[in-house]
Structure 1
């Protein structure tokens, strides 16, 4: 064979320009970008160097034949025309990989069988025997590419894909491929930063790919030096002496390079994933070269005297919960970079380029890549130098001074009130300033948590300014309360329709126990828009507790049963809690159990085949049913219960949703339209001297006079709003109604 080799070197989509430049640096005399790879020409040494030194390649292919493809027989004939006996021995094993597509041969497995048959026949003709097929660890790999009306046959000189360096063990979520990580580091200018002594930091490092590949780059370590097998080793034209010389040179360069590594820091909140990273680094010969830190993104700080590079691939998918958590992550990441990394470079790989503005830095370069089949963008930022603060004055988040002042004022006042009254969960801020449209709730569990909801901005508000204000507010909240991002729970609250305010936002499954005046309740701050505890109804629940002694209490639209638990603690003879959601009834049962009460859940089919409930429901007045949980459509349940004159209640609490079109309902519920029937039905279930408390969170709600005709009705809204909800307009409206 001629010593001028034509190669086709494959790579992930988007890496072709970088790979073409890399091959020229490795000794190619020509390199031309193609879709999915680079066509290169160079000496034999180029093939070996590409296998050993390419940080970007997936495979190094030596083209053997190219021919028109009309049918399967044509594929066999084309493969039969290659003298395979010049390439490998009949004692070697081989495998065939088929890629691409063609209308002439639609099944890749069948195409592989045709090529295998052709190779076997060539060997039989010459030696009377054929080499064996080994699909797991073959000596020789043949690559077949079907390109519509053409077929290309190549010898795979690399063997297993070159992105598999040999150091990676177990990982968490699907990790970034090593060659894509290298492309990102190259685009971000890491080799130049490392040469100046700048550090590399990944604040969400996962299994450590950026750090390990970045260390190998900085130390001049050949990425395939650890591999034990290459596809060219059983190739009959292989020159072992040349290969061994190249390996010895790479080993010498590695030994020198490891002595001059810059600082390398990997951080992650997930200790399990961080352990994978440590093991991978140890396997890569970098056991003491990278510092691994378990910690929050927001606690990441620069190291060294020379500005370095912050590079990260923020988690998406399983490691993130709701959309709000992703938004919070990007906003706080931007605030951290801006406050603590002046003069540094930052590179963020994201599948959500729409979240780029949340970072709050202007990208000076954007590159497109593919992470597998997923299109991703690399956003690069130069972080401006910040003014030097006075000695002894801690750096504060930039901007948002008005919000910070109002937060500090509210926190001081409401903090004192909460400690004095024993309130552990309260609202500290609720859109007090029009430019910062957030609701911020403090939950004191074993640790302090902040639950932050962003109200949807009207279309008249500049979205760029809204993003900036959100970023400022989140940064000030995190700094003021000194909570890590994992305890700052962020959500976006838009105008809801149907049951959307109750739909799951994520699957974090983190439940916390909080205390409300001696009542233990469970809250989930991540997975639902609401947390399981409506803070604005605190005083109403305490009112029910004071009035419940010896009484039968009905809690309609009970949600997670907090009002029922307070009534039970007040000595209620019985509580009946009705809701359509099995999830929330189960939650209510857990809340009752947490406070030492047993409950009994009854499921009534919320959508009977016809007419009223199938079969007469067991009366809720049965004495053994001290705390009964009923799964039912409240309106239908009320109609059914109205027919039982013996089933009456001393206290009824009714706090319906403003609107619901749940698929479990036979009809849409609208509190404005349906409250007259709802109130009259509740009033019909009152025992002599009984009281109905009706409440709604609907803004601009007007009580229909027909709803209270013949009833005594008192607006008690001011008496049900605690100190943290005394802001106009009121968080809810409430009435005390008697017969």
Structure 2
């Protein structure tokens, strides 16, 4: 087991609940919330993840000692006794000390910091005759000492400098909004969910562009720390460079995938210098082609409102008299803001920050929440307003997709130099397409796999879905340098549209990660951009953007065809039915009846849509929302029987709608026995799993007649990957 450490993460007033949510999403469990910070126990990698991914944290500290500090001498002796040589070298190294105290005898922070620095320097001088120097800007080691009631906590500052500094701010304006505050406001405004649903975002008083950049980074799943070139652990002696390199490479992959699904984002300001600053900062963040900023006054926004989606979030940091604007004139500004929303963007929500909540009343909008945050030294409130007019989902404009022109602009901005290996990848992809295209036409297939990690350095699965391309990256082998893998990904994403002669906005990249619970079935975004594909004369709805999977498992094509051949006159059961593609095949094969069981209302509705798409309607087709394990027990008690059953369960699930944890390797024996009890005497069960290391416990299933049909169910386009799934035909023994 990896070494465990204790960490402390600090955040500003009002942001601790958001920080707690972030830590939970990062998989950090052993945490405790206190005044101004959250403490947790974990591996060094967990602290690195917080530094890289937290949007609201200020600092990540690693306590190394607790000392008595009733006097300066006691503090000095305690600090000097610590093994600083484990953290920093004496020669050619730098350090800095941050010191704060609360209700303690050592009150002067500068004096306390001096005593700590002297203790460290004196230890090195006595041991080696050398000493580190002081660098208050970006030291090799930043030490944090907090004394409370004369008890000192000595910590290594792994963040090095405040995490609100993302590395993209090259230009400032008057009264700039801190990056972590902008992110916190967006998180409280539910922007992550709204962005997935394709909502637009506008900041009509954008200043230096902080809201716009933070919103884009959230929507595109870009790590807020990805552009920083300095952290407190960068030159720390115990820094795990390989771990950090791996995390950065993973973040870059997620960034590449996320940029393709950014919604409409616009900014404006009536100050030309602010517009220039915003554009410079946006360009530094690598988002110049994705965020538009224009010199525009608030009252000019109605003229562009007709080009905006019907739903969106307007977010801004209007002047509120403390640093900008005359307080007694500001009510006109707030009134104008409310008028623009009410008259021209009635389906839009609004969020704004102010030090005077009374000004918010002049908007005339309906406020549904208020949250206290500090804007620097100014105590403020963030006001959240409902849309004046709710917009039906059918009215939503999914303007988040790139136009061809935008797509080419993004491609030009992200071009990489093509290597010789890249050309080999392009040639292999072209060769595969020529080889498979004729076969696909003959079999009425508009969706099939054209590349499956054929070259080890380009570990992708590439599937054609009509005129769209679905790309999934396999986890790179450990021996491959993570940064090299990222470069290969960028190169491939440039070459794929060229080889296929398609716009880059018709290429969808998915970054597959280890999934917890039902994450593999959760919404990734919600653009509802599904379209129709053909397979063996049948039709199916697929969605390449909203979920980790597309709605159609291509490797089961031949398995589904087998079900069609066996279904005539039989009652068919589809357990863990997903989008019902197997049910469509069975119904097309003249099954007497079909029953599809799944826990998800979304997928059951999708399955019914697939059936309607093929004119396979009727009361004999049943769709049941249930925990399949519980449903099996009930069906067994009711003595239900089926002549044909398809069973393709998840490899793992700890869904909140299931009791306990399901693991296919551990639980498949009991699952198969329960399912086989529902077979008629001459019935047939087709069981499949895509767990690569799965082993069927044949000895424990001796009462069943089992045939391995894996090889005969692997389609032509999956011949290279004979572990894409395993499949068995199971009957009750005579």
TM-score by length of 2: 0.51
Counterpart of 2:125 in structure 1 is 124
| 70 and 100 in structure 1: CA distance in 2 versus 1, 3 angstrom threshold | closer
Distance 2:8 2:258 in 1: 30
Report the Cα offset of residue 318 of structure 1.
7.3
Find 2:319's aligned residue among 315, 320, 324. 315
Distance 1:208 1:296 in 2: 15
Distance 1:73 1:102 in 2: 18
The 8 Å contact of residues 197 and 306 in structure 1, kept in 2 or not, is answered as: no
Counterpart of 1:342 in structure 2 is 346
| 375 and 232 in structure 1: CA distance in 2 versus 1, 3 angstrom threshold | same
Counterpart of 2:360 in structure 1 is 356
Q: Deviations over 1:209-246 (max 9, x none)?
A: 00001001111111111111111122222111111011
Report the Cα offset of residue 6 of structure 1.
1.1
List runs of 5+ in structure 2 lacking aligned partners.
393-734
Report the Cα offset of residue 177 of structure 1.
0.5
The 8 Å contact of residues 320 and 326 in structure 1, kept in 2 or not, is answered as: no
User: Which secondary structure state, in structure 2, belongs to the residue aligned with residue 67 of structure 1?
Assistant: strand
Distance 1:322 1:178 in 2: 25
Distance 2:391 2:262 in 1: 30
Counterpart of 1:245 in structure 2 is 246
| 339 and 70 in structure 1: CA distance in 2 versus 1, 3 angstrom threshold | same
Distance 2:118 2:279 in 1: 46
Counterpart of 2:158 in structure 1 is 157
| 154 and 85 in structure 1: CA distance in 2 versus 1, 3 angstrom threshold | same
Q: Deviations over 1:464-511 (max 9, x none)?
A: xxxxxxxxxxxxxxxxxxxxxxxxxxxxxxxxxxxxxxxxxxxxxxxx
Distance 1:136 1:344 in 2: 43
The 8 Å contact of residues 320 and 356 in structure 2, kept in 1 or not, is answered as: no
Counterpart of 2:707 in structure 1 is none
Distance 2:40 2:379 in 1: 26
Report the Cα offset of residue 80 of structure 1.
2.0
Question: What root-mean-square deviation, in Å, do the aligned CA atoms of Structure 1 and Structure 2 show?
Answer: 2.0
Distance 2:99 2:283 in 1: 35
The 8 Å contact of residues 370 and 382 in structure 2, kept in 1 or not, is answered as: yes
| 208 and 233 in structure 1: CA distance in 2 versus 1, 3 angstrom threshold | same
Q: Deviations over 1:101-125 (max 9, x none)?
A: 4441122111111111211232234
The 8 Å contact of residues 351 and 382 in structure 2, kept in 1 or not, is answered as: yes
Which is worse superposed, 33-42 or 56-65? 33-42
Counterpart of 1:437 in structure 2 is none
The 8 Å contact of residues 4 and 44 in structure 1, kept in 2 or not, is answered as: yes
Counterpart of 1:135 in structure 2 is 136
The 8 Å contact of residues 321 and 330 in structure 2, kept in 1 or not, is answered as: no
| 323 and 374 in structure 1: CA distance in 2 versus 1, 3 angstrom threshold | closer
Distance 1:321 1:158 in 2: 35
The 8 Å contact of residues 11 and 59 in structure 2, kept in 1 or not, is answered as: yes
The 8 Å contact of residues 28 and 46 in structure 1, kept in 2 or not, is answered as: yes
| 146 and 372 in structure 1: CA distance in 2 versus 1, 3 angstrom threshold | farther
Report 1:678-697 matches (<5 A).
none
The 8 Å contact of residues 13 and 35 in structure 1, kept in 2 or not, is answered as: no
Distance 1:387 1:206 in 2: 30
| 150 and 282 in structure 1: CA distance in 2 versus 1, 3 angstrom threshold | same
The 8 Å contact of residues 7 and 41 in structure 1, kept in 2 or not, is answered as: yes
The 8 Å contact of residues 319 and 325 in structure 2, kept in 1 or not, is answered as: no
Q: Deviations over 1:30-78 (max 9, x none)?
A: 2222222211222221111111111111111101122232111121122
Counterpart of 1:429 in structure 2 is none
Distance 1:83 1:90 in 2: 12
The 8 Å contact of residues 27 and 42 in structure 1, kept in 2 or not, is answered as: no
Counterpart of 2:182 in structure 1 is 181
Distance 2:2 2:378 in 1: 40
Report the Cα offset of residue 2 of structure 1.
6.6
Distance 1:273 1:307 in 2: 26
User: Which secondary structure state, in structure 1, belongs to the residue aligned with residue 85 of structure 2?
Assistant: helix
Which is worse superposed, 97-106 or 145-154? 97-106
List runs of 5+ in structure 1 lacking aligned partners.
389-739
Alignment length (residue pairs): 388
Distance 1:151 1:353 in 2: 40
| 253 and 2 in structure 1: CA distance in 2 versus 1, 3 angstrom threshold | closer
Distance 1:85 1:342 in 2: 62
Report 1:414-493 matches (<5 A).
none
Q: Deviations over 1:259-316 (max 9, x none)?
A: 2211101011111111100100011101111111211212324454451111111113
Report the Cα offset of residue 186 of structure 1.
0.1
Which is worse superposed, 263-272 or 99-108? 99-108
Distance 2:325 2:6 in 1: 49
Distance 2:132 2:61 in 1: 21
Report the Cα offset of residue 386 of structure 1.
7.6
Report the Cα offset of residue 320 of structure 1.
4.5
Bigger-Rg structure (1/2): 1
The 8 Å contact of residues 85 and 122 in structure 1, kept in 2 or not, is answered as: no
User: Which secondary structure state, in structure 2, belongs to the residue aligned with residue 7 of structure 1?
Assistant: strand
| 386 and 5 in structure 1: CA distance in 2 versus 1, 3 angstrom threshold | closer
Q: Deviations over 1:412-470 (max 9, x none)?
A: xxxxxxxxxxxxxxxxxxxxxxxxxxxxxxxxxxxxxxxxxxxxxxxxxxxxxxxxxxx
Report the Cα offset of residue 373 of structure 1.
2.0
Distance 1:212 1:189 in 2: 16
Q: Deviations over 1:692-722 (max 9, x none)?
A: xxxxxxxxxxxxxxxxxxxxxxxxxxxxxxx
User: Which secondary structure state, in structure 2, belongs to the residue aligned with residue 9 of structure 1?
Assistant: strand
Counterpart of 2:9 in structure 1 is 9
| 102 and 73 in structure 1: CA distance in 2 versus 1, 3 angstrom threshold | farther
Report the Cα offset of residue 258 of structure 1.
1.4
Distance 1:316 1:66 in 2: 44
Counterpart of 1:370 in structure 2 is 374
Counterpart of 1:29 in structure 2 is 29
Report 1:11-90 matches (<5 A).
11-90=11-90
Report the Cα offset of residue 154 of structure 1.
0.7
Counterpart of 1:296 in structure 2 is 297
Q: Deviations over 1:155-201 (max 9, x none)?
A: 01111211111111222212111001000000001111110111110
User: Which secondary structure state, in structure 2, belongs to the residue aligned with residue 192 of structure 1?
Assistant: helix
Distance 1:88 1:320 in 2: 45
TM-score by length of 1: 0.51
Distance 1:192 1:11 in 2: 23
Report the Cα offset of residue 25 of structure 1.
1.3
| 2 and 104 in structure 1: CA distance in 2 versus 1, 3 angstrom threshold | farther
Q: Deviations over 1:561-590 (max 9, x none)?
A: xxxxxxxxxxxxxxxxxxxxxxxxxxxxxx
The 8 Å contact of residues 165 and 224 in structure 1, kept in 2 or not, is answered as: yes
